[in-house]
């Protein structure tokens, strides 16, 4: 895929026909061990959580960025599976996806967003701050306890207040 730096990009909610492309983008990042893998079944189960970015490249369209917003309670949500195709790196896609999640979380009345990441600097640039994982018991006992990396997780928690 050619560079998308000068192409028209749009963030939108995922559709069922995006699931296989979402799976592919996430799988490529999981293979590099920069995020946890997700099965195609998990993607379908959580499809309503996903945002995608389409880019028209040489007449074809394709998903070049994905991200999901997972609700943990009345005030807390998590940004998950933020991934951008390497060919689209540096085009602002990651930032646009995170901003879409923030906008939706705000519209839903949530107060705080967090993510677990290996790319702390990116999230800090978007306004997040490093957070102690102990401040996220819903995540720890809801997901982390089931993870192969638990209790020795090497990801950093970041959070942003969206009040």
Q: Give the SS3 label for residue 145.
A: helix
Could you give the count of Cα atoms lying within 13 Å of 108 in the half-sphere of its Cβ? Answer: 20
Domains contained in the chain, number:
1
Residue 1 lies in a domain: no
For 101-158, the pLDDT digits (tens) are 999 999 999 999 999 888 889 999 999 999 987 777 555 545 544 555 555 667 888 9
C-alpha to C-alpha distance for 140 and 37, rounded to whole angstroms: 18
DSSP secondary structure letter of residue 146: G
pLDDT of res. 57: 45
Q: How far apart are CA 105 and CA 78, in angstroms?
A: 10
Say what percent of the chain tops pLDDT 70: 80
* 24 in any annotated domain: yes
**Residue 4, in any domain of the structure:** no
Would you place residue 16 in the very low, low, confident or very high pLDDT band (cuts 50, 70, 90)?
A: very high
Please give the residue range of the domain that contains residue 98.
9-161
The residue-averaged pLDDT of 70-80 equals 92
| Sheet-wide strand order for 9-13 | 9-13, 50-57, 60-71, 76-84, 112-117, 156-161, 129-131
Give yes or no for a contact between 95 and 51, defined as CB atoms under 8 angstroms apart. no
Look at residue 155 and tell me if it is in a domain.
Answer: yes
- Residue 59, pLDDT > 70, answer no
In a domain, 3, yes or no: no
CATH number at residue 105: 3.40.630.30
Task: Please give the average per-residue pLDDT across 38-67, as a whole number.
Answer: 83
């Amino acid at each position: 895929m050619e560079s998308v730096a000068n192409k028209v990009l749009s963030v939108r909610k995922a559709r069922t026909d995006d699931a296989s492309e979402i799976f592919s983008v996430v799988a490529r990042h999981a293979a590099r061990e920069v995020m946890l893998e997700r099965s195609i079944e998990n993607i379908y189960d959580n499809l309503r959580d996903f945002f995608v970015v389409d880019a028209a490249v040489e007449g074809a369209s394709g998903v070049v960025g994905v991200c999901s917003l997972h609700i943990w309670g009345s005030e807390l949500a998590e940004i998950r599976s933020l991934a951008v195709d390497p060919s689209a790196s540096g085009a602002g896609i990651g930032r646009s996806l995170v901003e879409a999640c923030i906008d939706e979380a705000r519209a839903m009345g949530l107060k705080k967003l967090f993510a677990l990441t290996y790319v702390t600097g990116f999230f800090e640039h978007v306004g997040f701050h490093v957070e102690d994982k102990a401040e996220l018991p819903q995540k720890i006992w809801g997901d982390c306890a089931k993870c192969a990396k638990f209790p020795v997780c090497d990801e950093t928690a970041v959070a942003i207040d969206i009040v």
